[in-house]
Amino acid sequence: MQDSFIDIGANLTDQSFDQDRDKIIEDSFQNGIEQIIVTSSSVNESLKSIELARSYKGKIWATAGIHPHNASNASENFKDDLMAILNHDEVVAIGECGLDYFRNFSSKEEQRKIFKGHLELAHKVDLPLFLHQRDAHDDFLGMIKDYGPKELKGVAHCFTGNKEQMESYLDLGLYIGVTGWLCDSRRNSELLGAINYIPKDRLLIETDSPYLMPKSLSKSLNTRRNEPQFLGYIAKELATLMEIGLSELSSITRSNTKNLFAKLRAF
């Protein structure tokens, strides 16, 4: 029997999937993917993610939020807009939200304003946070401590940092999301140094597709577009690094996913 996995982060509303989205989804379900959480980066994208989830009830779920790249485009009423969306049955998390000082597509001030709004929403809605951070660790950590709920639930999505950064997120109660970044020898050294310090009950896995295609897989398949069905490849790499069996990793990550994203438990 094939080991199954849950992809906690796939950008399936991305335009790169416009021509074959349903095929990509079906291929994933036929290749060991049990459920997929579709991540959203704007209010409009959140609505699209919900519609997609409705087409695959119990198999696909949605997040609702505004990515830091899009902070400058958010309306003044963005919290009210998101609050209405967060009440949909298909939504399992607030986000993708956080800070990204690597590209600064939105100013740092705009990013912090929008992130603060998401953290305030987490006080009102019983949903975990789907968190993004790049080159902004200190501000990110400080804002969560200042504005986040005392009983913080969430995941540090696409974690790429070092052991010390990871431990600071674990101390907050966060789960750690691991992607195909671990397969990229050009830039994965810090992550590799942290992998074996992730408690097994805090570990989640994701593709972040269509991004972060594992490099060696990209060469063999002659494509740069990542897909949820490739999560098994990432899982094999991770299981090897952690010195555990693939079946154990499947059981651990599926259980952790359903603990954090409670709506998935019924399916």
In whole angstroms, what is the distance from residue 83 CA to residue 62 CA? 14
Element (DSSP H or E) covering residue 27: helix 21-30
Round to whole Å and give the CA distance between 36 and 100. Answer: 24
Task: Tell whether omega for the bond before 248 is within 30 degrees of 0, i.e. cis.
Answer: no
* Pairing mode, strands 129-134 and 154-156: parallel
Distances (CA, A) of 71 to 58, 76, 104, 117: 30, 11, 10, 11
Name the token pair of 78. 């963005």
* Secondary structure class of 6 (helix, strand, coil): strand
Q: Cβ(82)–Cβ(64) under 8 Å?
A: yes
- List all residues 6 or more positions away from 20 whose beta carbon is below 8 Å from its beta carbon: none
Rounded CA-CA distance 149/94 in Å is 13
Q: What is the CATH number of the domain that holds 30?
A: 3.20.20.140
Q: How would you write the pLDDT of the chain (267 residues) with one tens digit per residue?
A: 689 999 999 999 999 999 999 999 999 999 999 999 999 999 999 999 999 999 999 999 999 999 999 999 999 999 999 999 999 999 999 999 999 999 889 999 999 999 999 999 999 999 999 999 999 999 999 999 999 999 999 999 999 999 999 999 999 999 999 999 999 888 999 999 999 999 999 999 999 999 999 988 988 999 999 999 999 999 999 999 999 999 999 999 999 999 999 999 988
Distance CA 115, CA 136 (A): 12
**DSSP-assigned beta bridge partners for residue 29:** none
Residue 38: closest CA among 17, 16, 64: 64
Quote the domain boundaries for residue 88. Answer: 5-266
Residue 171 amino acid letter: D
Radius of gyration (C-alpha) of the chain in whole angstroms = 17
- pLDDT the model gives residue 247: 97
Query: Which residues, in sequence order, are bridge partners of residue 36?
Result: 7, 60
Total tally of structural domains belonging to the chain: 1
